Structure 1
Amino acid sequence: MSKRNPRHQPSLSAERPCPCGRPKAYGQCCGRLHDGSAKAATAEDLMRSRYSAFVVGDEAYLLRSWHPDRRPAEVELDPGTEWLGLEILGTGEGTPFHSEGTVEFRARFREDGRAGEVHENSRFLRHEGAWTYLDALG
């Protein structure tokens, strides 16, 4: 894995389709969460924005959106990893009316010419009113 500057700014233009898979432009979708002009309304919104942060290399957003009890000191992203798509498999609670929730997802990627995927059931908690990523279940 290659270290990159945690202050890295997203490299995706605001007009491009959002990597999270929703039918919106990046600037009207996850880009608003990345730049701090909006907050995730649901745990799924946060999950999608975190996936998009991996796509655009926004390490600072990944750290900001991590629950402080579990946040690592840094995130190292490999610029050679190409993220290919996100599929939401299910959600549990995590609505605007909940304080915790889960999102099961599958994220496909290519690294060193080989296809792979991350399959995770993630836990999310509200912290100081905002959704945060806590950890992966089991």
Structure 2
Amino acid sequence: MTFEDATQIYYINKEIGELYKELAELKQQSFLKPITMSDMPHGGDTKDLFVEYTNSVLEIEDMIRYSLMKLQRERKKIEQFLDTVKDSELRLILRLRCINNMNWQEIGDEIGMDRRTASRKFYNYFKVAHNAH
């Protein structure tokens, strides 16, 4: 597994978070036009706006579902990869970073080591693995 493969879950999670934000912002928007009083006839744009709004919501929800499926596939790959890592401390660091998306300070606090030591072990693992191939 490459460093890029190991970090995919982080970026997929970020992508999902952005999609949820976009969906929330969309759902807060009003698709109705303000009522104006005039003698002029009005067009029936409200229906078109509602259809456009509904299609946008469905599209974002489809993107979220697809991203969640990608997330599950990547997690399965990383779980299989973690089964091959013999060093339990390194395996835990990899799990906390790649699957749990913890930052280095959180990882250091969790396993009782300095955040720089945890990140160094993580990056050294991929540097050594890359040089071995």
Establish whether TM, by shorter chain, passes 0.5. no
TM class by shorter chain equals: under 0.3
| Higher share in strand | 1
Higher relative contact order (CA 8 A, sep 6+): 2
TM-score in terms of structure 2 length: 0.26
Using structure 1 for the length normalisation, give the TM-score.
Answer: 0.25
Structure with higher helix content: 2
